[in-house]
Amino acid sequence: MSTRLATHGRLLDKSRPLTFTFNGKSFKGVEGDTLASALLANDQMMIGRSFKYHRPRGLVASGAEEPNGLVNMGEGGKFEPNQRVTTTELFDGLTCKSQNHWPSLDYDIGAINNHMARFMPAGFYYKTFMFPRFAWKHVFEPVIRMSAGLGNAPKDRDADTYEHFYAFVDVLVIGGGVAGLQAAKAAGDAGAKVLLIEQTAHWGGRAAVDGGTVDGVPVQAFIDATIDALDAMPNVQMRHRMMGAGVYDHGYVLGYERLTDHAPKTAGPRHRLWRICAAQTITATGALERGLSFAGNDIPGVLLASAVRDYAVNFGVSVGDRTVVVTNNDDAYRTAISLKEAGLDVPVILDARPTGGGALADAARALGIRVENGKAIASVQGGKRVTGVAICDQAGEGAVLEEIRCDCVAMSGGWSPVVHLWSHCGGKLNWDDDAVHFRPDPDRPPTGAKGEAFVITAGNASGEMDLHSVLQDADKAGKSAAKASGHAPTRTAAPTGESAPEAVMMAIWLMPHGAPIKLRAKSWLDYQNDVKVSDIQLAAQEGYESVEHAKRYTTLGMATDQGKLSNINGLATLANALDAEIPQVGTTTFRPPYTPISMGAIGGEARGDIFQPIRRTPMQGWHEANNGDFEPVGHWRRVFCYPKADETREQAAHREVLATRASLGLLDASTLGKIIVKGPDAGKFLDMLYTNMMSTLKPGRCRYGLMCSENGFLMDDGVVARIDDDTFLCHTTTGGAERIHAHMEEWLQTEWWDWQVYAANVTEQYAQIAVVGPNARKLLQKLTDEDVSNDAFSFMGWSDLTLGHIKARVFRISFSGELSYEIAVSASQGRALWDRLLVAGKEFGVTPYGTEALHIMRAEKGFIMIGDETDGTVIPQDLGLNWAISKKKTDYLGKRAQQRSHMADPDRWKLVGLKTLDGGTLPDGAYIVGEGVNANGQRRVIGRVTSTYHSPTLGYGIAFALLLHGPDRMGEVVNVAMIDDVDVPAQVCDLVFFDKDGEKQNV
Amino acid sequence: MSNAVSALEGAEFNGFAEVREIGLQGMITLRGDLGSKAMAGAVKSATGLKLPELRRIEQAEGQAVAWMSPDELLVMVPYEDVQKTLVALDKALKGTHYMAVDVSDARAVFQVTGPAAGDVIAKLAPIDMGALATGEIRRSRLAQIPAAFWLVGDDTVSGTVQVVCFRSVAQYGFDLLKTAAENGTEVGFLA
Amino acid sequence: MLILECPYCGVTAEETEFHGGGEAHLTRHGPDSSEQDFEDYLFQRENPKGVHFERWRHVNGCGKWLHAARCTLTLEVFGTYNAQTFEPPKHIKDAITAKRPGWTWRTFS
């Protein structure tokens, strides 16, 4: 059984006990434990079940590469699935549950898949769920949904907060092992601004577990001294619990800092996503151990040799009492030696190499450990945990020579440098035949904005595997990075490391070498996704020769660990099956993030009230206090209507229309875009921008204009006021201000840069209030001594007035057909004016109205709305706006496009009015259908409704529609298709439904 | 003009840095040929300040002139002096191609104060606050909105950062800064 | 994340401060142009693997339009320059030639 050792546990503070629960059972751990070590200390060997066959699964690793140890963590707003127990620091009160089983971890129905395994080979899903078609929906999908997925989806809103941070450094060092520490020191000594990050809570990495000396002192002493030295350097910052998640173009790196995962009651954000701009990045990301492929290598109790060692040395946990070590390299002997030194039994070390190991092997033998060279595991015995191993020759087909009782197997298939971050942005790899791994090719690095190399690897991540070369390489990396970022490195020598010399390893991709199918089908590569050696071989046999295809066919490396444990073994297996060399097969693509990061961290601060900017007008507070019912218009929130007590939105809008038409309405029109265009060439410029002539407009007057894109399509409309000879004020739609201002700047800067024109977006400088209705002039006159009579201040004119003490610019324009003034004042006085208008308008029953009333009134008057009648494919001619298109001008934006044959086609749908025969209101967007069917057998569509309202003024439904030959169909009754297949007849009519002669606005 | 109010009427927040809306600030967008003598003269006569160089801001008590783009300055004067300043600019630039418009009410201005003010900004803006020099103006974005930043007076980053954004998003801007300055969220990177 | 230098304000900033504006050095064709010229102007764009010229606007900055000479394969930026020009300035062309001898793009080389 696995248990806590009395001695050992260098990362623990055993004086601080912690309590946690796993599947509702209460367990004890201590400060410094990971959830993984604490579970093992409580003899919780089985931790979950695999994805496909639901086989019992225990821990394999001790770090980020762990494929099995995933749990549902926390509850309510703190719930999160798929938390890796090996990288989860234990805290008091932690609760977690195992995943992928039903009804329970010990008794799982899905495990029947295990017995069906032979019928569920690679590609099973693709092959099986194709036919019959109906079965997918009614049989396969429901069953798969029950058993599929890792963990559960959270149900509650995330209770935590997150944030981003932008950091700029000369040298970013990722990884706080001895290589990272030394690289940071070398770069820091050169004066570079250095950020050193480490994903765990500890500095020094594996070195302290593996031993050795640096400059004659134990490696731990070197680590402590280097940390002190770095701490003292003002140009170096060190942050732990921070992972280098991804390396991106031009030296951009994402750092993922986990601030409170280990102490969830602490205030502040849970995760902080660092967006780091680094001139140079050093990846000192270490190496990951690989497993070996032998039958039963997934039974709980089979772990990586390094993990068994970590649990013993770092956490004082013995995974088993009797551990069989199986290896193809010297490093695993360190595990045997540590276990022996901890008083545990190591019945045998199986070294697959015929010639065996070097100095470490001698040391093991000296401790009395039996070492067998050229031997392998034929199979592991046990179900929910290891009970023994059958031994065979590595060279043969697995004839069992001996059976040994044990409760733990420590395996080592060699080490792979962590090349992920090097590869994210295009760094290339070489296959190293001696070390049997891919290592970064320093001659083909990722390149940055200037074509420069911007990633340097250090230590194990470079493929340097012994302590001395690690330190030499890291020192060189630190100095090179400092130099590349403009700092002069010191001439100090790198520290000298000393560790046991190691004999060469041997590539072992299958154990035993000639393992028959029966063994291969129990030799696991990807534990989480249940991919076995036999699956890869089948994929190769079925023609999936590319490693990327084989990956997708078998799901190898597609689990949450992204193949950290399985990929190299998998592609070596594929290479063997294809009779190709490993480098020819290559690796799958390494993509960020290195390990999964939280969605919350990606979102950062953008949630709740600050999810996105909400634009507010100066009168927003009044609207909120007076029951304004808002609708989004771009990032603005405009009032749709102001419902009273029991009113529906529709009733409120209708009341607002009637009150405005009868007497007086007020609209907050501040959101309309306002752009000042000034200069000697301003008129010429506006003539190019608008379809009609603006240069002939007289100062003091206003003109409605249309703007098209160079494609000819209508993009915006609005009223232009000429302020003086040189100056125009262009009004845009609410959503259009920024877009139109940018449009102007684009043409001014990139096409007509010799024209003397300046544009300024002054939208937010002004609050604008529309005073609308038959009593509008009376209200205006109450606030000013100046003459605002029709003669003095005529329709389509503007005037600077003082209203009370407030200076205002007033435009006599109308979008409602009523007598109407739009009053612009400084934004800081907008609320004051609004309040004053409400008081002064009381005698006229002044009614604030919202966008729905605005829309109804404009539709009654036949005015188009950008975004309703236009959708980016509509030209002004479609809308019958030919009157606003100058025939005199030789050019304007969109003119050439409007001459194209399709644009001039008489069959383009044209805008008309529609009235239902029964007075009802048509649904928005409804299609108008003609006779016959189209090529697909669908009813022929001849038009669509673009705007539709119930007109409270007229008492019936009114609509606009784009209709084939529309203007020629006046009086005709057309059919509007409803979604329930019933057609509603509607009569084609003029666009102007109300006050056709404009008598109301011209008083 | 007693009824003129800034977007947030001087909202304040105290976290590990202090965030404050400074109230009404006179601002004029001035566009024209920044290389011309007339422009330098106009700025001098209207504010007493010299024309700022590329990405610089000239500051004096109650006045400042910031370089916004190769043909644009932002002239800052007390709110009540805007009309007077516009008249002075118009007079000095008469006959040249230029534009001077009042944008005082189109903006919101915040100050973030405290040794860790830079860290607050660095949570929201993709700029190197550690490298922001005295007298430099940096236009960028504050999370999802455009904003400009500079250090007040000759203060270094350990002092006060001035942040300008558009008025309609003043609440968003303030809430961002407030969230970033919340106690318990200290970063300790720049300070 | 691309890092670009704005040739107007001198700021070196990440992509989120800029907004891409498609291909650079297009010639506008107006009302008198042929169907072919107009089609080319509106719709026909280069899509090279290698040297490319594009427009960017420093939206969250000085607001100016700039041109960037960039390698679409390695994302190397050979240089940025003002948009008020009909062709890349010599120093930009030289910088490209130094890195990608023999390059061509439309009528430039």
Write out pLDDT tens, residues A498-542. Answer: 999 999 999 999 999 999 999 999 999 998 888 999 999 999 999
Mean pLDDT of A684-690: 98
Domains of chain B: 12-22+105-181 (3.30.1360.120), 26-104 (3.30.70.1520)
For A920, phi then psi, to 5°, come to: -75, 175
Residue A791 has pLDDT above 90, yes or no: yes
Q: How many CB atoms lie within 10 A of CB A26?
A: 10
pLDDT of residue A810: 98
d(CA A985, CA A917): 6
Task: Taking residues B82-106, report their average pLDDT.
Answer: 97
Establish if C69 belongs to a structural domain.
yes
Contact C17 B69 (CB under 8 A): no
Per-residue confidence at A891, pLDDT binned at 50, 70, 90? very high
Q: How confident is the model at residue B61 (pLDDT cuts 50, 70, 90)?
A: confident
The answer for A770, left when phi > 0, alpha when psi is -120 to 50, beta otherwise, is beta
What pLDDT does A100 receive?
A: 72
What pLDDT score was predicted for residue A132? Answer: 67
Please answer whether residues A323 and A339 qualify as being in contact, where contact means their C-beta atoms are separated by less than 8 angstroms.
yes
Q: Which CATH number fits domain A1-157: 3.20.20.150, 3.10.20.440, 3.30.950.10, 3.40.50.300?
A: 3.10.20.440
Give alpha helix (H) positions in A112-210. 112-115, 124-128, 133-135, 141-147, 178-189, 207-210
The chain C residues in contact with chain B (CB within 8 A) are 8-11, 13-14, 16-17, 59-64
User: Distance between CA atoms of A188 and A172, rounded to whole angstroms?
Assistant: 11
> What is the structure's pLDDT at A557?
87
| DSSP assigned state of A607 | S
- pLDDT tens, A824-859? 999 999 999 999 999 999 999 999 999 999 999 999
Model confidence at A174: pLDDT above 60:
yes
**The two three-digit tokens of residue A222, written as one number:** 């070197």
The pLDDT-based confidence of A402 (bands split at 50, 70, 90) is very high
Q: Kindly state the tokens that stand for A327.
A: 């290896």
* CATH T-level assignment (fold) for domain A886-989: Elongation Factor Tu (Ef-tu); domain 3 (2.40.30)
Please check whether residue C91 lies inside any domain of the structure.
Answer: yes
pLDDT exceeds cutoff 80 at A652: yes
For the segment A379-401, what is each residue's pLDDT rounded down to a tens digit?
Answer: 999 999 999 999 999 999 999 99
Give the pLDDT confidence of A466-498 residue by residue, as tens digits: 999 999 999 999 999 999 999 999 999 999 999
- Contact list in C for residue A252 (CB cut-off 8 A) is 1, 3, 14
For residue B141, the chain C residue with the least C-alpha distance is C60
Residues 65-104 of B with CB under 8 A from A: 71, 97-99, 101-104
Q: Could you please report the per-residue DSSP string of A260-323? A: STT-TTSSS-SEEEEEEEEEEEEE---EEE-----BTTTSTTEEEHHHHHHHHHHH-EES-SBE
Average pLDDT in the A914-943 region?
A: 95
Q: What integer best gives the mean pLDDT of chain A?
A: 94
Look at residue B155 and tell me whether its pLDDT is greater than 60. Answer: no
Of C9, C14, C63, which is closest to B126 when you measure between CB atoms? Answer: C14
Residue B153: which pLDDT band, with cuts at 50, 70 and 90?
Answer: confident
Let me know if residue C74 belongs to a domain: yes
Same fold for the domain at A162-288+417-491 and the one at A291-413?
yes
Would residue C107 count as lying in a domain? no
Length of chain A: 1003
Total of domains in chain C: 1
Burial of B55 (0-12, 13-18, 19+ CB in 10 A): buried
Greatest C-alpha distance within chain C: 42
pLDDT at A641: 98
User: Between chains, do B167 and A827 touch, taking CB under 8 Å as contact?
Assistant: yes
pLDDT mean over A802-810? 94
Q: C34 is in which domain, residue-wise? A: 3-99
Question: Is CATH 3.30.70.1400 what the domain over A673-761 is classified as, yes or no?
Answer: yes
Give strand pairing partners of A196: A173, A238
pLDDT at B156 over 60: no
Q: Is A762 on the interface with B (CB under 8 A)?
A: yes
A91 pLDDT tier (thresholds 50, 70, 90): very high
DSSP A183-214: HHHHHHHTT--EEEEESSS-SBTTHHHH--EE
Any idea where the domains of chain A sit in the sequence?
1-157, 162-288+417-491, 291-413, 523-585, 673-761, 886-989
**For residues A948 and A998, is the Cβ–Cβ distance under 8 A?**
no
Looking at domain A523-585, which of 1.20.120.790, 2.60.260.20, 1.10.10.1100, 2.60.40.1180 is its CATH number? 1.10.10.1100
Backbone angles phi, psi at A542, to 5 degrees: -90, 10
Give the pLDDT of residue A50.
Answer: 81
Contact: B98, A758; criterion CB under 8 Å: yes
Contacts of A616 (CB under 8 A, 6+ apart): A636, A637, B7, B168, B169, B170, B171
Angle formed by the axes of helices A359-366 and A331-341, nearest 10°: 20
Distance from CA of A591 to the nearest CA of C (A): 15
Q: What do you get for the CA distance between the two ends of chain B, in Å? A: 41
The values of phi and psi at residue A960, to 5°, are -110, 150
What are A519's two structure tokens?
Answer: 């063994």
CA dist C75 and A792 (Å) reads: 63
pLDDT at residue A401 in the model? 97
Which of A92-106, A951-965, B30-44 shows the lowest per-residue confidence on average (mean pLDDT)? A92-106
Least confident stretch, A71-80, A165-174, A368-377 = A71-80
Name the CATH architecture for the domain at A291-413. Answer: 3-Layer(bba) Sandwich (3.50)
Residues 6+ apart with CB under 8 A from C105: C46, C48, C51, C52, C53
Nearest CA in chain C to B66: C62
Low-confidence ranges of chain C (pLDDT < 70): none
Neighbours of A971 (CB within 10 A): 7
pLDDT of residue A981: 80
C48 contacts C84 by C-beta, under 8 angstroms: no
What is the pLDDT, as a whole number, of residue A949?
Answer: 98
What CATH number has the domain spanning A162-288+417-491? Answer: 3.50.50.60
For residue C42, which residues of chain A lie inside 8 Å, CB to CB?
A: 710-711, 897
Average pLDDT (B74-103) is: 97
Find out whether A510 and A352 touch, Cβ atoms under 8 Å. no
- The tally of CA atoms less than 13 A away on the side-chain side of residue A960 is 25
Task: Answer whether residue B1 shows pLDDT above 60.
Answer: no
Closest C-alpha to A319, from A331, A328, A329, A311: A311
For residues A458 and A418, give the distance between their C-alpha atoms in angstroms, rounded to a whole number. 11
**Does pLDDT of A115 surpass 70?**
no
What is the model's pLDDT at position A965? 97
Check A765 against B101: CB less than 8 A apart.
Answer: yes
Q: Tell me which residue in C16, C60, C62 faces B69 most closely, judged by beta carbons.
A: C62
**C13 and B69: CB-CB below 8 Å?**
no
A182-192 average pLDDT score: 98
> How does pLDDT run across A551-589, given as a tens digit for each residue?
889 888 888 888 899 999 999 999 999 999 999 988 889
ipTM score of complex:
0.98
With vertex at residue B179, the alpha carbon angle to CA B174 and CA B185, rounded to the nearest 5 degrees, is 145
Cα separation, A958 vs A919, whole angstroms? 8
A80 pLDDT higher than 70: yes
Q: Is the pLDDT of residue A130 over 70?
A: no
**Half-sphere exposure for A802 (CA within 13 Å, toward CB):** 4
Task: Give the end-to-end CA distance of chain A in Å, rounded to a whole number.
Answer: 97
Q: For residue C18, what is the domain's CATH number?
A: 3.30.2270.10
Distance CA A124, CA A547 (A): 18
Task: Please indicate whether, in this complex, the C-beta atoms of A250 and C63 are within 8 angstroms of each other.
Answer: no
Contact A259, B186 (CB under 8 A): no
State the chains in contact with A (3 or more Cβ–Cβ pairs under 8 Å): B, C
Taking one residue from A and the other from C, the number of pairs with CB-CB distance under 8 angstroms is: 69
Residues of B with CB under 8 A from a CB of C: 54-55, 68-70, 72, 126-127, 138-141, 146
Q: Tell me the mean pLDDT in the region B163-169.
A: 98
Tell if the CB–CB gap between B176 and A605 is shorter than 8 Å.
Answer: yes
- Tell me: pLDDT of B118 over 70: yes
The pLDDT value given to residue A708: 98
In the structure encoding, which two tokens stand for residue A306, read together?
A: 């390094």
